[in-house]
Each structure stands twice: as structure tokens, then as C-alpha cells.
Amino acid sequence: MDEVPGQETGGPEIAIRLLAPGDENVVRELAAYEGPGDPDAVLADPRTLMLVAFDGERPVGFVLAHELPRRHGDRAKLFVYEVDVVESHQRRGIAKALLARLAELARERGIRTGFVLTEPDNGPANALYRSAGGATETVTVQWEFSYEDD
């Protein structure tokens, strides 16, 4: 397990830890405020990075990212899929500390760039990503896959 002391947040120190197989209970605990998911699948893939911020024993935030292999250029990019901090712990620098630790892990894996998808009107998320060194690009193409029973 990778235990990293978190940034001082004005209260108790927050510890940030990279989850691994065997930590499914932590993902389930996060799911109590985030909805259903498949903790086994999330943690089984070695290209999935899930960092969790703990206040004592309580998980209070996380970042979920996926290493995407590439055919050309850099060997991989990092896709930041989700960042969340419980409301009681927001505005304390936890999300930014999670992203900073994620950047360290990316560098350790030889990954040079990452990206996240968010809506232009999502002010708090966009401010977070900019504060963590992100730059906004506006080209996004999206499509939905429909099924006969939809």
C-alpha cells in the first residue's frame, strides 16, 4: 500500500492512499454517497488508479483515473474520470492534493499528459483543474450507443 501524508487542511491531517485489490470495502464505503459500482473491477485493473483521501479511518474524497495505452506518441495518457470530496471536507485543498499525488504517480509510470472531461459551465471543477495546472481545450466530440430496448 502506498501511504502518503496529505496536505494540511486546517483540521486533522488527511492521508492519501492508492487503493489496490483487497480495498474493495473502501470503494463500497465511497459508493454510499456516490452510487453503485463494481469495486472488484475497479481495483483489479492495474491501469486503474484510485486514490482516496482519509480523515482518520473515514474516506472523504477520491480521484479515479485510467491509464490509456496509445498506438503512437507517448506510450500512455492518463484519463481522470472522476474527482469528488464529501461536502463536509470541501474547500480544504483535498481535491488538489489528490490530483497532485495522481500527477506524481503518472510521472512514476512514465506518463507525460492527462486529461479530464467536464462541462464548460462546471465552474468549481474547471477552477480545480486549472489550479492543478490544467489548460482548457474546447474540442469535444461525443456520441451515444443506443440499444434496441432503449
* Domains with residue ranges and CATH for the chain: 2-131 (3.40.630.30)
The model's pTM is 0.83
Name which residue leads in pLDDT, 74 or 104: 104
Structure confidence at residue 3 as a pLDDT band (50, 70, 90): very low
Pairing type for strands 76-85 and 58-69 reads antiparallel
Query: What pLDDT was estimated at residue 37?
Result: 73
SS (H, E, C) 48-91: EEEEEEEECCEEEEEEEEEEEECCCCCCEEEEEEEEEECHHHCC
Query: What pLDDT was estimated at residue 11?
Result: 56
Residue range 9-65, pLDDT digits in tens: 455 689 999 999 999 999 888 876 566 578 888 899 999 999 999 999 999 999 999
Count of Cβ atoms closer than 10 Å to residue 29 Cβ = 16
